[in-house]
Amino acid sequence: MSDVIPPRPDGSPPVPVPPMPGAERPKATWRWWEAILVYLGITLVSSLVTLPLFGVIHSKGLVELTASLLSAIVIIGLLVLWLRASHPGWQGAIGFPKRLWPEIRAGLGFGLLLYPVVTLGVGLIVTMLLQVVSGHTVRSPRQIPPHLSAIGVSVSVVYAVLVAPVHEELFFRGILFRSLRDRHGFWVGALGSGAAFGLIHYLPAPWFNSMLLILVMVFTGFALAYLYERRGNIVANMVAHAMFNVVGLVLIMVFR
């Protein structure tokens, strides 16, 4: 497309059209398959790091939450080390804003709106379809262990609100979506990263219950890819993801 802006009909100088957020951002230098291979390797390393916890913490629910928290922190650190070592300029490709408050505000609003859309809209439709197909009552698998102590609740809050949004948005939107988007367009990026985002939320349960959570998370990942496309930075996504988890966590704690 030409960068030359034609003159206006009245002969006055042309008015440049401001670019969309992130339009001038450098393209990702990593390939999507490279990102997935690195992520799988890092996830394996993080799992090995958390193994000692299972010999120290004897509460099943608490050790699983603590292991998830520690694993996510290790994944964040190793992803950043990989990007710094192999892909100079990664910060520009992923997108970090100069002004934080507008992105925080946008993320809070989007996350607050996304939760009822996902649960009351997409979730209900998917539930009804799966019940017709399976002939069973469909419920989302339990994502937080029951009967948690105060320490367990604190670990859940830290993981869901602070660590998981950074981990998941950094990889699934900042790295995976960015690579697919830059080479194959928005739809491929959003669908591909959304599908991967849904799959990592698999929990052992009857297939129809597991599928409910996966499909809802696929839609959530697609919506977060849209936010990333519009805002052009990863901070708004991290805040939106955190707000989404806050609403879900509060409802789980209230109605458990």
User: Is the pLDDT confidence value at 214 over 50?
Assistant: yes
**Stretch 42-56: mean pLDDT:** 96
Q: Mean pLDDT in the chain?
A: 91
Q: pLDDT tens digits, residue range 118-170?
A: 998 999 999 999 999 999 999 999 888 878 888 999 999 999 999 999 999 99
Residue 145: both structure tokens together: 């262990």
Residue 7: what pLDDT? 55
Q: Is residue 72 part of a domain?
A: no
Q: Is residue 70 part of a domain?
A: no
Q: What is the number of structural domains in the chain?
A: 1
What number of other Cβ atoms are within 10 A of residue 98's Cβ? 7
Residue 233: what pLDDT? 95
Rounded Cα distance between 76 and 228, Å, is: 19
Rounded Cα distance between 203 and 199, Å, is: 9
DSSP code of residue 145? -
Please state at what angle helix 207-231 crosses helix 100-116, rounded to 10 degrees.
Answer: 150
Residue 209: both structure tokens together: 């219950």
- The proportion of the chain whose per-residue pLDDT surpasses 90, expressed as a percent, equals 80
Q: pLDDT tens digits, residue range 228-252?
A: 999 999 999 999 999 999 999 998 8
Q: Is residue 235 part of a domain?
A: yes
- Residue ranges making up the domain that contains 227: 97-255
Residue 2: what pLDDT? 44
Residue 256: what pLDDT? 67
Q: Hunting for tokens 């539930």 — which residue is that?
A: 127
Residue 174: both structure tokens together: 């900042």
Residue 172: both structure tokens together: 């699934």
Rounded Cα distance between 175 and 38, Å, is: 11
Q: pLDDT tens digits, residue range 216-228?
A: 999 999 999 999 9
Q: Is residue 118 part of a domain?
A: yes
Q: Is residue 207 part of a domain?
A: yes
Q: Is residue 26 part of a domain?
A: no
Q: Is residue 61 part of a domain?
A: no
Q: Hunting for tokens 């299972």 — which residue is that?
A: 54
Residue 191: both structure tokens together: 């669908």
Q: State the burial class of residue 129 (Cβ atoms within 10 Å of its Cβ: 0-12, 13-18, 19+).
A: middle
User: Is the pLDDT confidence value at 176 over 70?
Assistant: yes
DSSP string, 25-65: PPPP-S-HHHHHHHHHHHHHHHHHHHTTHHHH---HHHHHH
Residue 27: what pLDDT? 94
Residue 6: what pLDDT? 53
**Contacting residues for 89 by C-beta, under 8 A, at least 6 apart:** 26, 29
What number of other Cβ atoms are within 10 A of residue 158's Cβ? 14
User: Is the pLDDT confidence value at 179 over 90?
Assistant: yes
pTM of the model: 0.89
Residue 246: both structure tokens together: 């806050």
Q: Is residue 5 part of a domain?
A: no
Residue 251: what pLDDT? 87
Residue 18: what pLDDT? 44
Q: pLDDT tens digits, residue range 1-23?
A: 444 455 555 555 555 444 444 44
CA atoms within 13 A on the CB side of 113: 9
